C-alpha cells in the first residue's frame, strides 16, 4: 500500500509537470520490472551469441519510456502497459540488429546474467511475429496491446486486464483471438 501511495504521488507530480519525478518511478518499479523481464526472457532460454539480459532490457525500457511516452502515464498498470510496448520494441530491434549485423567475426559473446534470451536463435521468429503484430494492429489495436502485455512484458491475465483497463474475460477472449489470428498469419 505504501508503494502504491508513493507511485500515485509521483504520477501526480509528473502530471503537474515535474519532469524529475519520472526518475523516481524507476526505483519504485525496478524489482517488478525485473521480475516481468525475467519471466519474458526466460521463455527464450540461453544462447550462444547475441543475448539480451534482464537488467539490460529493464534499463533500456526505462530509458525509452523516459524519453517519450512517460508523460502520458496515468497509473501504475498503465506504466506496465507502456513498458510492455517498450520491451517489444527493444527485443525486436535486437533481433533486427542480429539479422543485419555481422560484426565480431564469429566471436562468442558471454553474459554474467543467467536471465537471457537468445536473440540469434529467435530472431526470425521474433521478426515474423512483429510483422504479424503490425498487420494485426490495422485490424484490432487492442489485440496487439494484449499480446504486448502478455508476451513481451510477461504480465499475467489479471495484470494485463488492469494495465489495459479491461475485464479479465475480455483479456482472455482477446488473447484467444490474437493467438488464432497470429497462428494463421505465421503459418
CA distance 142 to 157: 14
pLDDT at 135: 94
CA distance 142 to 171: 9
| Residue whose cell numbers read 543475448 | 51
What phi-psi label fits residue 17: left (phi over 0), alpha (psi between -120 and 50 degrees) or beta?
left
pLDDT at 103: 44
What's the helix, strand, coil split of the chain in %, to 5?
Answer: 75, 5, 25
CA distance 76 to 81: 9
With contact defined as beta carbons under 8 Å apart, do 97 and 75 qualify? Answer: no
pLDDT along the chain (187 residues), means of 10: 68 68 72 77 49 79 71 72 83 79 45 45 79 92 91 85 92 95 90
Element (H, E) at 117: strand 116-118
pLDDT at 102: 47
pLDDT at 98: 76
List the one residue out of 159, 129, 157, 156 whose CA is nearest residue 144: 129
pLDDT at 45: 40
Residue ranges of the domains in the chain? 2-186
CA distance 11 to 70: 10
pLDDT at 72: 63
Amino acid at each position: 500500500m505504501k508503494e502504491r501511495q508513493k507511485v500515485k504521488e509521483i504520477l501526480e507530480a509528473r502530471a503537474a509537470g515535474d519532469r524529475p519525478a519520472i526518475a523516481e518511478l524507476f526505483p519504485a518499479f525496478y524489482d517488478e520490472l525485473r521480475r516481468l523481464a525475467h519471466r519474458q526472457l526466460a521463455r527464450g532460454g540461453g544462447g550462444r551469441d547475441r543475448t539480451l539480459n534482464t537488467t539490460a532490457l529493464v534499463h533500456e525500457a526505462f530509458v525509452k519510456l523516459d524519453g517519450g511516452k512517460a508523460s502520458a502515464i496515468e497509473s501504475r498498470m498503465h506504466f506496465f502497459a507502456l513498458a510492455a510496448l517498450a520491451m517489444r520494441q527493444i527485443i525486436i530491434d535486437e533481433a533486427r540488429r542480429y539479422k543485419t549485423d555481422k560484426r565480431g567475426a564469429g566471436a562468442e559473446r558471454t553474459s554474467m546474467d543467467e536471465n537471457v534470451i537468445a536473440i540469434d536463435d529467435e530472431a526470425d521468429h521474433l521478426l515474423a511475429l512483429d510483422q504479424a503484430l503490425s498487420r494485426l494492429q490495422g485490424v484490432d489495436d487492442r489485440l496487439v496491446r494484449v499480446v504486448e502485455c502478455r508476451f513481451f512484458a510477461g504480465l499475467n491475465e489479471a495484470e494485463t486486464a488492469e494495465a489495459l483497463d479491461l475485464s479479465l474475460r475480455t483479456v482472455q477472449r482477446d488473447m484467444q483471438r490474437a493467438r488464432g489470428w497470429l497462428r494463421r498469419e505465421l503459418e
